[in-house]
Structure 1
Amino acid sequence: MDNKKNIILVGMPGAGKTYIGEKLSEKLKEFKFVDTDALIEKRLEMSVVEIFENRGEIAFRKEEDAVINELINSEDKQIIALGGGAFRDKNIKLLKKNGVIFYLKAPINLLYERIKNEATRPMFLNSDNVKIKLAKILEEREPNFLKANFIIEQDKYTTEELLNYIIKEYEILKDCIDILPSPVFITNGDFNSFEEKISQYVSGKGLVLIDEKIEKLYGKRLQLKNYPRYVLKEGEAQKNIKNYEKIIDFAIQNKIERGDTLIAIGGGVTGDIGGFVASTYLRGINLLHVPTTLLACVDSSIGGKNGINTLRGKNLIGTFYQPKAIFCNLNFLLTLDDKQFKTGMAEVLKYAFIEYSCNSETEYNLLEYLEKNIEQIKSRDEKTIEEIVRICVELKSYVVFKDEKEKGLRQILNFGHTYGHALEKISNYKLTHGEAVARGIIFAFELALKNRLISRKYFERSMNLLKSYDLYTPIKSVNKKVVEVMELDKKIKNGKINFVLPFCPKTVEIMKINPQSFIHS
């Protein structure tokens, strides 16, 4: 998987973007070097200075945007040197989605020495003090430059070291989704290279928290430098205070310090309790997630939520704490039993039903994709599974990016979960999370149909899709115990809960509902 085909260089005038770009292209023969300013000059048959003088900066920026769009949509692998003002809000997300971005940072004095005698820099024409002008432009532009994937302080590297650094970091990041601060790597490669990639993100010493089944199946292949490892038994019931304290004690025994890293390898249970340990031990240590189930890959490992259960309910104790990185190796899914694969598909279906409400910048048509590829998905076709994991990760990332702490938009991710969590609790976690969420989705659809929020056609289409993935269970009545558990939900306020209901295809709305009303529904 190679999502980010371009290497993109940004920085101030005089940062050496063209020089470094040309040198990179000599090393990376499959890449074509493009300087956006030079390309604009060639197309308009005048220099950048002449364009500014004759057409003005607005016209130049318009041409610059068009060139960036064209380059990004090219099938070629490119090293792109952006003009100093091109890396602005309008273009950042597009560029990040299609390339790995390096900010070539240089001190003002170095920039000044490089450009003081040049007559080709329009921003510095008629300026009495170039150094002051440089400082002013840097102050305006650097907040955007700092959004690059990597910041390279040039005075700390020789040219050769800088080139090798860019190539190395590009290889690491080219196949990741980095809408959130935590990059998400999706691969189906061998475990040796996978382990090497994980190790590159470990700060200090490592401590491994690993699911019992994964330890039995893959423990010998995942050595991870023989870091101390705590093996956690399977099942939602393991997310409790007692196990939390045991893991904390294990960290203390192994002298894990604040700069060290916890690596959580397993499904949602391992990730949830591991994230909670990392966020609270010594007031926070580094965290890496290695999800090994479909559910964890598409949902629970993304977004920074973690927690443990109490006797009263699920995830009543927890924090928001972002991992440094997330590593999804889809080879883990080959040994996932059918029940756990199905539980992950419930979360995938959730994203299909809420896609338009996620406000992403791409239309994925996940609902249609799931309808057309039922057999490929159920047989775990490699490319099809990779595609649905990528789509779900991107959808959730867009939501979390806009609302990390669940103050508004992120609440749509609870579609099917409020009712589902209550079912899990009263079943003493004999129902899997996905089975419970699927029933929660069905309940939400039936409630929406009864209240005429959706058409019967969309209701039947949705139920047929759930049946296709063996996730349909009719809801006969609402158990009073379910309502009692829902009344302890984290999101309840003044006796009403924010309940997510379908409104039209691929769209949901949040409505305040008294759970007691469900008994009579």
Structure 2
Amino acid sequence: MSNTEIQVSLAERSYPIIIGRGLIQQAQQFEKVIKGSKVVVITNTTVAPLYLEQLTQSLSKFDVLTYQLPDGEQYKSLEYFEKINSFLLEHNCARDVTLIALGGGVVGDLVGFVAACYQRGVDFIQVPTTLLSQVDSSVGGKTAVNHPLGKNMIGAFKQPEAVFIDIDSLSSLPAREFAAGMAEVLKYGIVFEREFWQSLIEAKTQILALEPAQLVRVIKRCCEIKAEIVAADETERGARALLNLGHTFGHAIEAEMGYGVWLHGEAVATGMVLATRLAHIRGYINQQDFDEVVTTIESYNLPIHKPSSMTLDDFVKHMKRDKKVQANVMRFIVPTKIGHCEIMSDVTEAELNSVLV
């Protein structure tokens, strides 16, 4: 299977997304984009035993250092942001260093934020190893760490030099993590493209069986959609906010339950159900389409019910800290049909109460 390439078009900050099999072992891909002689690979203790040696062998022409984080959402923090910066300083890394994020969304977001800040900006490369990071977080330059009062509240926009998506890494992914990634895949269908949504329903068996051709097709389409949106709205002033379908509810679940208790994709899946229920209550989505959204999300082994312990007050408390809040008004991404969403700022607490019953 030959590699597939997509370009994220951002003038002088444009970069390729390469999708294929065995990419981690393709030294020439890395040699094309690394400018300096020093590379720091940052990964976690789960991914390192699986892929770190393969990657360092591909980087044999460079002076390579490695840093391993513990595995978990709770380590996407200012504490580990500081630890990585300290590691770079202790090893005399200069501005020509290239950081490589080898792992899922936690590693990618954290390394990207370090790259944005270390010596006011150094190059970095994304090598995402989870489905969620391959279709979403590794593309588009949004980097951040979490704060106890809110998810991704401290960060920066920093585009990578390249994104290398090796679908072979998905074979080692736990089923729960794969399902969490599918939440973001399903999101693209609900927000932007009913035809893509329909294909996810029809090809579900093959996708869950990790058929390579289907994985490449799905990941490629997600990245194409995201690349187009990012090129048009890099810093999320308009249409890019639509990519947050389910995230207002989902981030509230993550913050209230504790980061990592619910995986990000699990919280987003439930958030998409809640957002679609809001659309149904408002009369935008008919019963048939609402049922289709719920059953399809559930069929990909994702949760469809909010935590039983969470109340309206719990949700509102976190939603009021959401990054989409403007002038103290909460804004929600709401589907008006499968394949189209809008941003709405007139949602009442009474409506939210009906959604959260």
Would the TM-score normalized by the shorter structure come out above 0.5?
A: yes
Report the equivalent of 2:117.
280
Structure 1: stretches of 5+ with no match in the other structure = 3-173, 357-363
Structure 1, residues 385-441: CA drift from partner, whole Å, max 9, x if none? 111000000011111111001000001000011110110111112000010000000
Q: Secondary structure at the match of 1:296?
A: helix
What's the RMSD between the two structures over aligned residues? Answer: 1.7
Question: Which of 218, 225, 248 is matched with 1:388 structurally?
Answer: 218
Q: Could you give the per-residue CA deviations for residues 228-253 of structure 1, whole angstroms, max 9, x where no partner exists?
A: 11101111110111111000010111
Cα offset, 1:271, TM superposition = 0.3
Q: Do the aligned residues in 2 keep the contact of 1:308 with 1:314 (CA within 8 Å)?
A: yes
1:253 aligns with 2:90: yes
Rg comparison, structure with higher value: 1
* TM-superposed deviation, 1:450: 0.7
SS of the equivalent of 2:291 reads helix
Q: In the alignment, what sits opposite 2:25? A: 192
Seen in structure 2, the aligned counterparts of structure 1 residues 191 and 316 have a Cα distance that, compared at 3 Å, is closer
Q: Distance in 2 between matches of 1:410 and 1:237?
A: 26
Q: Counterpart in 2 of 1:501?
A: 334
Selected match of 1:212 from 39, 45, 48: 45
1:222 pairs with one of 31, 42, 55:
55
Quick one: which amino acid aligns to residue 440 of structure 1?
A: G
Deviation, 1:317, is 0.4
SS in 2 for 1:316: strand
Cα displacement string for residues 71-117 of structure 1 (whole angstroms, at most 9, x for unaligned residues): xxxxxxxxxxxxxxxxxxxxxxxxxxxxxxxxxxxxxxxxxxxxxxx
The Cα of 1:344 is off from its aligned counterpart by 0.2
The residue identity in structure 2 corresponding to 1:178 is Q
Say if 2:242 and 2:341, in contact at 8 Å, map to a contact too: yes
Counterpart residue identity of residue 189, structure 1: G
String of CA shifts for 1:308-363, please: whole Å, max 9, x gaps.
Answer: 0112111110111111110000111010000100000000000010124xxxxxxx
Deviates more, 1:313-322 or 1:506-515: 506-515
- The 3-state SS of whatever aligns with 2:345 is strand
Counterpart-to-counterpart distance in 2, 1:187 and 1:437? 27
Contact 2:331–2:343, Cα closer than 8 Å, also in 1: yes
Matches within 5 A, 1:341-360: 341-356=178-193
Structure 2 distance, partners of 1:207, 1:272, is 16
TM-score (normalizing by structure 2): 0.92
Alignment of 1:196-345 (within 5 A): 196-204=28-36, 205-223=38-56, 224-225=59-60, 227-345=64-182
Aligned to 1:405: 235
Distance 2:192 2:88 in 1: 40
Distance 2:339 2:23 in 1: 36
Residue type of the alignment partner of 1:418: T
- The share of aligned pairs that are identical, in percent, is 36
CA distance in 1, matches of 2:170, 2:351: 37
Amino acid at match of 2:74: A
User: In the TM superposition, what whole-angstrom CA distance separates every residue of 1:146-198 from its partner, at most 9, and x where no partner exists?
Assistant: xxxxxxxxxxxxxxxxxxxxxxxxxxxx73101431210001136432x3312
Question: Residue type of the partner of 2:236?
Answer: E
Letter in 1 for 2:297: L
**Structure 2: distance between partners of 1:306 and 1:219:** 22
Given that residues 416 and 438 in structure 1 are in contact (C-alpha distance below 8 angstroms), is that contact kept between their aligned partners in structure 2?
yes
1:179, 1:308 → 2: CA distance? 24
- SS of the residue corresponding to residue 319 of structure 1 reads strand
The reply to whether residue 176 of structure 1 matches residue 25 of structure 2 is no
Q: Which one is further off, 479-488 or 237-246?
A: 479-488
Partner of 1:491: 324
Query: 2:110 and 2:145 mapped to 1: Cα distance?
Result: 6
Q: Which sits farther off after the overlay, 216-225 or 176-185? A: 216-225
Residues 497 and 515 of structure 1 are in contact (CA less than 8 Å); yes or no, is this contact kept in structure 2? no
2:343 counterpart of 1:510? yes
Counterpart in the other structure of 1:422: 252
Equivalenced residue count is 342
TM-score, normalised via structure 1 length = 0.63
* Structure 2 counterpart of 1:481: 314
Question: Which residue in the other structure is 1:375 paired with?
Answer: 205
Which residue identity lines up with residue 314 of structure 1 in the other structure? K
What amino acid is aligned across from residue 203 of structure 1 in structure 2?
A: K
Structure 1 residues 289 and 191: alpha-carbon distance in aligned structure 2, compared to 1, 3 A threshold: closer
Q: Which residue of 1 aligns with 2:272?
A: 441
For the residues of structure 2 that align with 1:343 and 1:255, how far apart are their CA atoms? 38
1:234-276, Cα deviation, whole Å (9 max, x unpaired): 1111011111100001011111111221111100000000000
**2:312/2:353 contact within 8 Å kept:** no
> Relative contact order: is structure 1 or structure 2 higher (C-alpha 8 Å, sep ≥ 6)?
2
Amino acid at match of 1:239: K
| Aligned position for 1:456 | 287
Q: Distance in 2 between matches of 1:514 and 1:369?
A: 32
Kept in 2: contact 1:483–1:515 (CA 8 A): no
- Amino acid in structure 1 at the alignment position of 2:30: I
Q: Offset at 1:517?
A: 4.2
| Unmatched 5+ stretches in structure 2 | none
Q: Distance in 2 between matches of 1:354 and 1:272?
A: 23
**Equivalent residues in 2 for 1:16-35, closer than 5 Å:** none
**Residue identity opposite 2:172 in structure 1:** T
Deviation, structure 1 residue 503: 0.2
| Pairing 1:78-157 to 2, within 5 Å after superposition | none
